[in-house]
Amino acid sequence: MALISIIKDFHPLGNAKLLDRAAQLRPALRHGVREPIGGFKLKERYSAEEDEIVLRQLPHLSLGKGENLCLDFGTHMVGYITLELSYSGSHPDAPAYLKLKFAENRMELSENSQDYNGWLSRSWIQEEYVHADLLPARIVLPRRYAFRYLKITMMDTSPKYKLIVKHAECMTESSADWSCVTALDSGDHELDRIHAASLRTLANCMQDVFEDGPKRDRRLWMGDLRLQALTNYVSFKNLDLVKRCLYLFGGSRFPDGRVSAAVFTAPDVQADDTFLFDYALMFVVALEEYLQETDDQETLDDLYDIAMQQVEYALRQIQDDGTLNEQAVKDSFIDWCDELDRSACAQGVLIFALRYARRLARRRNDWSQGSFLMQQQDALRRAAVRHFWDETRQLFVSNGQVSAASQIWMVLADVIEPEKAKKAMEQALCATEVPIGTPYLHHYYVMALLRVRMRTEAVSHLKNYWGGMLDAGADTFWECWDGKDPGFSPYGGSVVNSYCHAWSCTPAYIIERYLLKEASDE
């Protein structure tokens, strides 16, 4: 399922008041300087085998044609690189021709980008070719990168000299304020590790907006924003950044008022011409959750009507039998999985979102709207049970397909009573015909387990899934991860995968709001 939408002559609906308010909320970016902690050479250009190099050797290490040097900066970071280059041997009689490859993890260093033939643009691959005409030289790359490792390959030089990388540093960039958080000491080492990586993931995605990934897209996506905001509330507490992002979504929309799946913020703010049914509804959810944290009446007044527009659009997609029409199902993301039947999932997301819409109506004292939404919610629940619940199997079936996704969203929507919901969740993974593809849906899986009070299973899954990424070498959590297929990519090649991704950041939220709270209540 390629999320590519091309609408000719797309002219978003702009709201100058909302966009001006968003501009006023632009965060200050915080900077620091980080240097390599060590390095190594790959024995072959695209080999996973390496020779370790101690840090003190780096200023004296010379590179001839075809040789490489991999610098390790110690952890994942986002920022701008500066290199100081010199030489050994005779005076350089030809430029030094370098290839720079930035990698978020070690696996990327041995990948050959020329092998990539996926549907996402290869322009996202973090590689640069640089000529140093004169040596010594100080090279400051203008582009921002997300990486831990920098591989420098000497593509060509002359026989008269070799290149020396005297110094390298990265000016890091993020709007996250680390003074707001402290390291978790829960008594469970694995949860503490996961919590720390979760916060690094969020911090490196906190830039001018909550980006979905600092390596690729670098865009504000609605589904990601909702999860980032939740984790932000228990950590960095940058409430203005959440508000800014909500205003950006409200300030540039589809001409008919629908919230876009994503928003471009530079050089100008413009809604992407991609619409996702479930993401638009997450605008309603994220707004209500922001108000739970802030009780911000200004934001409620400014965005209430826009939130209700999303609900009204969604309700117009209901068919006579009480289920969503084919277009709404087709427009639902849910997860990266082409085989997934999304009918039950989309229905569940809508019912779930109506819970939050009703809360917004109560905040606004809009009692007639609240009553209407309650009636719609009840009708949609009854239709969901009629069309998707299999009483014999005690789980939800979507057009003949059993999936974890269907159980997750129907449980989160409270479609059935708690006892049956628990039975559905007990079968969510073992009886499924399609796997969960991304941390996005894995988050909702854990939340559904907690919803039916399966805390032990939730903790186990958190450790197995997100902890599995750490065991595989992650510093920050990845866009997609399958322990049975580490090279899995929804894009046709893992070289464009994001290894610091917004929708993967929620373990800190789950740990803080649910696991630690429940432990303290016991």
Contact (Cβ atoms closer than 8 angstroms) between residue 63 and residue 87: no
User: 365 pLDDT exceeds 90?
Assistant: yes
Separation of alpha carbons 504 and 513, rounded Å: 16
pLDDT tens track for 281-322: 999 999 999 999 999 999 999 999 999 999 999 999 999 999
Q: List Cα–Cα distances, 106 to 40, 316, 360, in angstroms.
A: 11, 49, 46
Instruction: Write down the pTM of the prediction.
Output: 0.95
Average pLDDT value for residue range 189-197:
98
pLDDT tens track for 125-141: 999 999 999 999 999 99
> Looking at residue 54, what is its pLDDT?
65
Q: What is the DSSP string of 117-135?
A: --SS-GGGS-EEEEEE-SS
Q: Give me the half-sphere count of Cα atoms (radius 13 Å) on the Cβ side of residue 470.
A: 19
Percent of the chain surpassing pLDDT 70 = 97
Average pLDDT value for residue range 58-74:
89
User: 520 pLDDT exceeds 50?
Assistant: no
> Looking at residue 158, what is its pLDDT?
93
User: 1 pLDDT exceeds 60?
Assistant: no
Separation of alpha carbons 211 and 361, rounded Å: 29
Nearest in space to 503 (alpha carbons), one of 213, 301, 305, 309: 213
> Looking at residue 331, what is its pLDDT?
97
User: 53 pLDDT exceeds 70?
Assistant: no
> Looking at residue 522, what is its pLDDT?
33
Phi, psi of 75 (to 5 degrees): -160, 165
> Looking at residue 55, what is its pLDDT?
67
Output the average pLDDT for the chain.
94
User: 499 pLDDT exceeds 50?
Assistant: yes
Question: How does DSSP classify residue 503?
Answer: G
pLDDT tens track for 10-48: 999 999 999 999 999 999 999 999 999 988 888 777 666
Residues facing residue 472 across a β-bridge: none
Tell me the residue length of the chain: 522
Separation of alpha carbons 102 and 76, rounded Å: 11
User: 270 pLDDT exceeds 80?
Assistant: yes
> Looking at residue 518, what is its pLDDT?
57
Determine if residue 161 is left, alpha or beta; phi over 0 gives left, psi from -120 to 50 gives alpha, anything else beta. Answer: beta
Average pLDDT value for residue range 494-516:
96
User: 71 pLDDT exceeds 60?
Assistant: yes
Average pLDDT value for residue range 57-74:
88
Place of tokens 């300030």: 251
What residue spans define the domains of the chain? 30-174
Q: How confident is the model at residue 177 (pLDDT cuts 50, 70, 90)?
A: very high
> Looking at residue 57, what is its pLDDT?
73
> Looking at residue 432, what is its pLDDT?
80
> Looking at residue 2, what is its pLDDT?
46
User: 493 pLDDT exceeds 70?
Assistant: yes
Q: Give me the half-sphere count of Cα atoms (radius 13 Å) on the Cβ side of residue 225.
A: 35
User: 519 pLDDT exceeds 50?
Assistant: no
CB atoms within 10 A of CB 65: 14
Nearest in space to 200 (alpha carbons), one of 467, 502, 495: 502
Q: List Cα–Cα distances, 487 to 31, 69, 334, 491, in angstroms.
A: 33, 24, 21, 11
Average pLDDT value for residue range 327-332:
98
Place of tokens 């390095």: 39
User: 488 pLDDT exceeds 90?
Assistant: no
For the ranges 242-256, 387-401, 472-486, 507-521, which has the lowest average pLDDT?
A: 507-521
> Looking at residue 276, what is its pLDDT?
98
The answer regarding whether domain 30-174 maps to CATH 1.10.275.10 reads no
